[in-house]
Chain A
Amino acid sequence: DSGVTQTPKHLITATGQRVTLRCSPRSGDLSVYWYQQSLDQGLQFLIQYYNGEERAKGNILERFSAQQFPDLHSELNLSSLELGDSALYFCASSSLAGATPTPQETQYFGPGTRLLVL
Chain B
Amino acid sequence: QKEVEQDPGPLSVPEGAIVSLNCTYSNSAFQYFMWYRQYSRKGPELLMYTYSSGNKEDGRFTAQVDKSSKYISLFIRDSQPSDSATYLCAMSVWAGGTSYGKLTFGQGTILTVHP
Contact = CB atoms under 8 A, between A and B. Distances in A.
Interface residues of B, number: 26
Task: Indicate the size class of the contact surface on chain A.
Answer: 20 to 34
B51 A107 contact: no
B71 interface: no
B32 A43 contact: no
Interface of B: 32, 34, 36, 41-46, 49, 51, 88, 92-94, 98-108
Contacts of A99: 32, 92-93, 99-103
A101 B49 contact: yes
Contacts of A98: 92, 94, 98-101
Given A100-B32, A111-B43, A50 B101 contact: yes
Contacts of B93: 99
A17 to B, nearest CB: 24
Contact of A100 (B44, B99, B104): B99
Nearest to A99: B92
Contacts of B99: 97-100, 105
A45 B46 contact: no
Contact of A45 (B42, B44, B104): B104
A18 interface: no
Nearest to A55: B101
Nearest to B93: A99
Going nearest first, the 5 A-B pairs with the smallest beta carbon separation are: A98-B99, A109-B43, A101-B49, A99-B92, A48-B101
